[in-house]
Chain A
Amino acid sequence: MADFLMPSLGADMEAGTLVEWLVKPGDWVKRGDVVAVVETQKGAIEIESFQPGQVEKILIGLNSKVPVGTPLAQIKTEAEGKAAVATSPPAPPPYPVTPAVPPAMVVPAPVPRPPPVAAAAASPAARRLAQERGIDLSMIRGTGPGGAITYADVEQRLGVAVAAPPSVPMEKKRAIGLDLDAMRLAIAAAMARSKREIPHYYLEHRIDVSASEQWLTQRNETRPPERRLLMAALTIKAVALAVHRFPAFNGFYRDNKFESSKAVHVGTAIAIRGGGLAAPALHDADQLPLDELMSRMRDLIQRTRAGRIRGSEISDSTITVSSLGERGVEALYGVIYPPQVAIVGFGKTVTRPWVIDGAIGPRPVLTVTLSADHRVSDGHTGALFLAEIGKLLMEPDNL
Chain B
Amino acid sequence: MSAIDIRKVIQEELNNIAPEADIASVDPVADLREAIDIDSMDFLNFVIAIHHRLGVDIPEIDYPKLVTLDGAFAYINAKLQAQQ
- Give the interface of A toward B (CB within 8 A): 170, 173-175, 217, 220-221, 224-226, 228, 230-232, 271, 273-274, 297-298, 301, 325-327
Contact = CB atoms under 8 A, between A and B. Distances in A.
Contacts of B48: 225-226
Contacts of A175: 19
- Most chain B CB within 10 A, of A174, A175, A271, A327, is at A327
A273 B57 contact: no
Nearest to B18: A273
Contacts of A173: 19-20
Contacts of A230: 40-41, 44
A173 B21 CA distance: 10
A221 B18 CA distance: 27
Contacts of B33: 326-327
A280 to B, nearest CB: 14
A231 to B, nearest CB: 8
Given A232-B40, A327-B34, 20 more contacts: A170-B20, A175-B19, A217-B60, A217-B61, A221-B61, A224-B51, A225-B48, A225-B57, A230-B40, A230-B44, A231-B40, A232-B41, A273-B18, A274-B20, A298-B44, A301-B41, A325-B39, A325-B40, A326-B33, A327-B33
A174 B51 contact: no
A228 B44 contact: yes
B58 A225 contact: yes
B27 interface: no
B44 A225 contact: yes
Contacts of B57: 224-225
A225 B43 CA distance: 11
Nearest to A222: B59
B39 A327 contact: yes
Given A225-B51, A226-B48, A271 B60 contact: no
Interface residues of B, number: 19
B interface secondary structure, majority: helix
B74 interface: no
Interface string B2-31: 000000000000000011100000000000
Contacts of B61: 217, 221
A175 B20 CA distance: 10
Nearest to B41: A301
Contacts, number: 50
18 contacts: A174-B20, A217-B60, A221-B59, A221-B60, A226-B51, A228-B44, A230-B41, A232-B40, A232-B41, A271-B39, A273-B18, A273-B19, A273-B20, A273-B37, A297-B41, A298-B44, A301-B41, A327-B39
A213 B21 CA distance: 31
Contacts of A170: 20
A265 to B, nearest CB: 20
A237 to B, nearest CB: 16
A217 B59 CA distance: 10
Contacts of B39: 271, 325-327
- Most chain B CB within 10 A, of A221, A271, A273, A297, is at A273
Contacts of A220: 60
Nearest to A348: B40
Contacts of B34: 327
A248 B40 CA distance: 31
B47 interface: yes
Contact of A298 (B18, B20, B41): B41
Contacts of B44: 225, 228, 230, 298
Contacts of A231: 40
A170 B18 CA distance: 11
Contacts of B37: 273
Nearest to B43: A326
B29 to A, nearest CB: 18
Contact of B19 (A174, A221, A232, A327): A174
Nearest to A217: B60
A266 to B, nearest CB: 16
